[in-house]
Structure 1
């Protein structure tokens, strides 16, 4: 059973009528939070292809760009914040992206419970909330149960790509992932050039914060 500790605090902003309509009408077809279980991604996307899950997709910038540039991939953009999901749905429709879906809800539960084993080629976690106060550390997304869930759903050779501009959280990420011998570090350092640079990251750079990227490959998954 996944520990029922949220790694997020959902922001509730005012939605425009267009955003509300998108959540209802487009969400009905493209939000995996409403899809029935057991979740079959071949049915969801209408094909079998390499699959990428981005956790904490924000306004959808990285998801939209990657889905547009890589039509050979199926992409899932997960976030708890309603405005970001609404924007992603609207842009997805405008760009006619058939290889993108959203998850409006708890991604840890999605990875731990709803996805089938070995169903993802990549998991991306870019700039999750570092929860810097000691009393909030337990809310961090990258914790042992997340690492275990990632190992369960990644296919052999699949990758877990983490990025943060909080040095303390980067060290915590390293320590958590080291507990999983199935995951081998292939990059620990400056931003990976292929990763889209988001508005959040650019704002952090102007404030003097610089990203650390951590990339891990699933080498020898343990028996489930």
Structure 2
């Protein structure tokens, strides 16, 4: 029986594609696109080299993912996003920056991680500003849950890092609670809660606006220790 998740952490809101996004999908998907498959990809084959692999779940329009890939040519990056306009925008920016160290899935992240990503193949998993599902009755839809974290643990190398960021304090507290209870992980925060935004995570326009308005952002980084 094919693997099906009963509760999804996203709602597929198919926005309209701009001409530029459609062109990027038509022209650049063959270079940057990865198709979901039921067996693990050979990542050194995909990128044509062996390098640390950073995987980002839900990259939105892809601006910060492209910036990170541009700033760290010694690493390879994989982005997963279900919304086609965001995928198109990311492909366009990646092509404009002539990146060779970025690939993109347009598929459900949990299925990609479970089936298409080999165990112990990732150096970092990033989850920045996921849908907070702020109503209490929707908290079960939040992607950071015990089962999901153990799936990530399998995919991370020992010493690999799961890096989360959110601008919802309640979700930050939820993430912290789940991660503190998760076997096999150690908090990289000196105060055993949150960390300062590391340099490699670009500050988004949305975040800068939030800072001006006095909104908080919480970063959490947990290392796989066994």
Please, what TM-score do these two structures have when normalized by structure 1?
0.91
Q: Cα distance, 1:124 vs. partner?
A: 0.7
Question: What's the counterpart of residue 141 of structure 2?
Answer: 139
User: How much does 1:206 deviate?
Assistant: 3.6
- SS of 2:35's equivalent in the other structure is helix
2:116 is aligned to 114
Q: State the Cα distance separating 1:202 from its structure 2 match.
A: 2.2
Deviation per CA, 1:84-105: give whole Å up to 9, x if none. Answer: 1111101111111000111112
1:181 aligns with 2:187: no
Q: How many residues align?
A: 220
Which aligned pairs between 1:1-224 and structure 2 lie closer than 5 A?
A: 3-33=5-35, 37-187=39-189, 188-220=194-226
Gaps of 5+ in 1: none
Deviation at 1:16, TM superposition (A): 2.3
Shift of 1:179: 2.5
Deviations along 1:155-203, whole A, 9 cap, x unmatched?
0111011111111111111111123221100022442343211123223
The CA deviation at 1:205 is 2.4
- Return the TM-score normalized by structure 2: 0.90
1:105-127 per-residue CA deviation (whole Å, 9 max, x = no partner) reads 21121112221100100001111
Checking the alignment, whether the CA contact within 8 Å between 2:128 and 2:166 is kept in structure 1 is: yes
Mapped to 2, the partners of 1:2 and 1:153 lie a distance apart of: 19
Unaligned runs of 5+ in 2: none
Deviation at 1:35, TM superposition (A): 6.1
C-alpha RMSD of matched pairs (Å): 1.8
**Native 8 Å contact 2:36 2:107 kept in 1:** no
